[in-house]
Chain A
């Protein structure tokens, strides 16, 4: 494995992969917390159309990807909160964009190979230029996220109290979506549009089950993502046939599944004095209720 590091493509892939894994862990915590899971699936698919269009016009795919992903993120933010309606609009927009991407693809037969790479990800196609762009953009994204960390957390957990405290909830939401679109675009270079979702959501979903503190959850997610990416890139490089995006997804899923099944919230300290939570108690924790209290 170590002699693989002689090859520039390996080094580029590992550096880029590490950067995006850490960023994805941080962003992923908030994607899960803000119930943006479907959006996190739709945004890269829409980005694909942008990347396909970019290839058609000779621009670097990642720029096209980001342009469309950003537009999608802003659009999703504008559509509003009602989850059911939002899901439908997102689904229709997503398939429309995918159709466009397909159209671009069909207009020029023979560049299917590049589009393939955009969808499936690749470790071979990352140049030094990509690494630099990724590094700079990720630094910007991380900086922004750190700057809005506390207000973002507040708006996520308790938007009404946050608004009452004077926070610009809508603006923060839009800012986060933009940063998320950036993170997704950068990660898609390695993971491909189809599977970038797993890197964004998998480590965060796993971390949420392992720890109770937001800071630790983000750190855990970043470390998990880093591990997955290194293992995935290594396995893909050694085998030569297995796509890196599949490897990372498989590892992410393989870790998530047992954690999801077996990691239960730890018993609270001093919980013996708490009220009993039987099936019929109206005081039951929120996750057992079918609908929110009105």
Chain B
């Protein structure tokens, strides 16, 4: 079993997973802060449609995913930022993308039985079949996305925590929003490639959400998120490769580790709040909470 670790398959998967984890956990920090979980979910389904379309047309799935998700991101970012009503629109867009994905997979699976399992791969990830060329492409994309994120991180943080003041200060809030969605599209594509469309959201959202329950300052929360993301992916890979049970699929291991990390952080955070350890919430101008004593 340990011999498996020496194999190329493992190291390819580990490389892909590491890139995805870093991109996801850092971008995911803002996803949680901006309450864009649903938009992230929509993008995973859009990537699903893109990869299924690519499979049908014979392209590299990553190209298809990026094409679909980047275009969709432009639309999502340009949508007005009001929270109300946006959920329904996002949901409908998500459904359409999923529908297309279902269509493509069905048409693809009609060719042969092996294609049916290929369809499953699109949904649940194919990290084991990632080739070095794809890893190089992933590296480039992740680098560009993270560099862009770094460049806009301070104005983006400002615009996220206090959009009203940010706008008053002259920040191009809509442009920032669109830029972020494009970065998110790239990060989501990484996750979908490695652990599949259905599970990608866990890598994107769980490590940062866990980090935010424990750390409050942006820098420490982002760092913790990245660390957690790496632990979750590597833990998942190792559990699947050398685990004593029948090797569970990697998608399952990674998403379960991510969920566990979040549940643990949730419990820790709750206990801390019970002991009256000050405000356990990230300082931000949230909309009014219910039932406050007045």
Q: Is there any pair of Cβ atoms, one from A and one from B, under 8 angstroms apart in the complex?
A: yes
- A106, A243, A252: the one contacting B95 at CB < 8 Å is A252
**In the complex with contacts A37-B38, A98-B255, A102-B198, A92-B163 CB distance below 8 A:** no
Q: By the criterion CB–CB under 8 Å, are B163 and A290 in contact?
A: yes
Contact with B along A217-257 (1 / 0, CB 8 A): 00000000000000000000000011101100110110011
Q: Measured between alpha carbons, how far is A61 from B35 in the docked complex, in Å?
A: 34
Q: By the criterion CB–CB under 8 Å, are A40 and B91 in contact?
A: yes
Q: Which residues of B contact A82 (CB under 8 A)?
A: 286, 289-290
Q: Which residues of B contact A65 (CB under 8 A)?
A: none
Does residue A68 face the partner (Cβ distance < 8 Å to B)?
A: no
Q: How far is the CB of B229 from chain A (nearest CB, A)?
A: 14
Q: Given A243-B103, A249-B102, 14 other A-B contacts at CB below 8 A?
A: A35-B84, A38-B38, A82-B286, A84-B286, A91-B206, A92-B206, A92-B263, A96-B259, A102-B196, A194-B102, A201-B92, A246-B103, A257-B92, A291-B287
Contact with B along A117-132 (1 / 0, CB 8 A): 0011000000000000
Segment at the A interface, from B11-19, B141-149, B245-253:
B245-253
Does residue A45 face the partner (Cβ distance < 8 Å to B)?
A: yes
Q: Which residues of B contact A249 (CB under 8 A)?
A: 95-96, 98-99, 102
Q: By the criterion CB–CB under 8 Å, are B102 and A205 in contact?
A: no
Segment at the A interface, from B115-123, B128-136, B181-189, B220-228:
B115-123
Does residue A57 face the partner (Cβ distance < 8 Å to B)?
A: no
- A37, A120, A291: the one contacting B102 at CB < 8 Å is A120
Q: Measured between alpha carbons, how far is A257 from B93 in the docked complex, in Å?
A: 10
- A94, A201, A245: the one contacting B99 at CB < 8 Å is A245
Q: By the criterion CB–CB under 8 Å, are A103 and B87 in contact?
A: no
Inter-chain CB contacts under 8 Å: number? 173
Q: How far is the CB of A156 from chain B (nearest CB, A)?
A: 14
Does residue B241 face the partner (Cβ distance < 8 Å to A)?
A: no
Q: Measured between alpha carbons, how far is A102 from B196 in the docked complex, in Å?
A: 11
Contact with B along A192-207 (1 / 0, CB 8 A): 1011011001100100
Q: By the criterion CB–CB under 8 Å, are A194 and B38 in contact?
A: no
Tell me whether chain A's interface is mostly helix, strand or loop, or mixed: helix
Q: Measured between alpha carbons, how far is A173 from B62 in the docked complex, in Å?
A: 42
Total interface residues on B, CB under 8 Å, equals 64
Q: How far is the CB of A221 from chain B (nearest CB, A)?
A: 13
Q: By the criterion CB–CB under 8 Å, are A37 and B91 in contact?
A: yes
Does residue A158 face the partner (Cβ distance < 8 Å to B)?
A: no
Q: Which residues of B contact A202 (CB under 8 A)?
A: 92, 95
Tell me whether chain B's interface is mostly helix, strand or loop, or mixed: helix
Question: Which has the most chain B C-beta neighbours within 10 Å: A120, A192, A252?
Answer: A120
B interface residue numbers (CB < 8 A to A): 32, 35, 37-38, 40-41, 81-85, 87-92, 94-96, 98-100, 102-103, 105-107, 109-110, 116-117, 119-120, 123-124, 163-164, 196, 198-199, 201-202, 205-206, 209, 246, 248-249, 251-252, 255-256, 258-259, 262-263, 266, 285-290
**In the complex with contacts A95-B206, A99-B251, A81-B290 CB distance below 8 A:** yes
- A91, A192, A243, A260: the one contacting B205 at CB < 8 Å is A91
**In the complex with contacts A41-B91, A92-B205, A106-B248 CB distance below 8 A:** yes
Q: Which residue of A lies closest to B38 (CB)?
A: A38
Q: By the criterion CB–CB under 8 Å, are A292 and B258 in contact?
A: no
Q: Which of A276-294 contact B (CB under 8 A)?
A: 287-288, 290-292, 294
Q: Measured between alpha carbons, how far is A96 from B264 in the docked complex, in Å?
A: 14
Q: By the criterion CB–CB under 8 Å, are A242 and B106 in contact?
A: yes
Q: Measured between alpha carbons, how far is A288 from B80 in the docked complex, in Å?
A: 10
Q: By the criterion CB–CB under 8 Å, are A116 and B107 in contact?
A: no
Q: By the criterion CB–CB under 8 Å, are A87 and B88 in contact?
A: no
Q: Which residue of B lies closest to A204 (CB)?
A: B88
